[in-house]
Amino acid sequence: MKRMLIGMIALSFPYAVQAHATYRHVDIGDSRALDAIQAANPAQYEKVIGILQKVATSVSCETLPQMLKVQYGAEQLECAGYLIRTSYPAKRHLSFKLDDVYFAGNVVLTSPPGTLQPAR
């Protein structure tokens, strides 16, 4: 039984690696990669810039995946709203798949910072 389980795992491993390797990965913070996309596929570049602007100004990651799927066709969106990098300016990690390219990286948040309110 143990050998059969190991054999099944060993046989399925190449398929998992092959399925993962079919996407091209692009770092959002790499300006040269974004410039190459702009030159090769201007329509995709416009979609990526639109997504980055939405994420930068949006505070909520709860509705963001549905909105970006409808507006831009983005899939596999990962945006952890509770994880904000405490750098200055604040950043949020974002990853998504658009067409056959997987984008990932940190996005600078440009929304107005929160304000302190006196207790009532």
Residue 79 confidence class, pLDDT cut points 50, 70, 90: confident
State residue 59's pLDDT score: 57
Percentage of the chain beyond pLDDT 90 is: 16
Question: What are the backbone dihedrals phi and psi of residue 73, each rounded to the nearest 5 degrees, phi first?
Answer: 80, 20
Tell me if residue 119 falls in helix, strand or coil. coil
Q: Which of 94, 67, 96 is nearest to 83 (CA)?
A: 94
Largest CA distance in the chain: 66
Question: What are the backbone dihedrals phi and psi of residue 89, each rounded to the nearest 5 degrees, phi first?
Answer: -75, 160
CB 43: neighbour CB atoms within 10 A?
8
Residue 113 confidence class, pLDDT cut points 50, 70, 90: low
Considering the entire predicted model, what is its pTM? 0.69
What are the residue ranges spanned by the domains of the chain? 22-108
97-114: burial string, b at 16+ Cβ within 10 Å, e else: bbeebbbeeebebeeeee
8 A C-beta contact, residue 73 and residue 100 = no
State residue 97's pLDDT score: 93
In this structure, what DSSP letter does residue 90 have? Answer: -
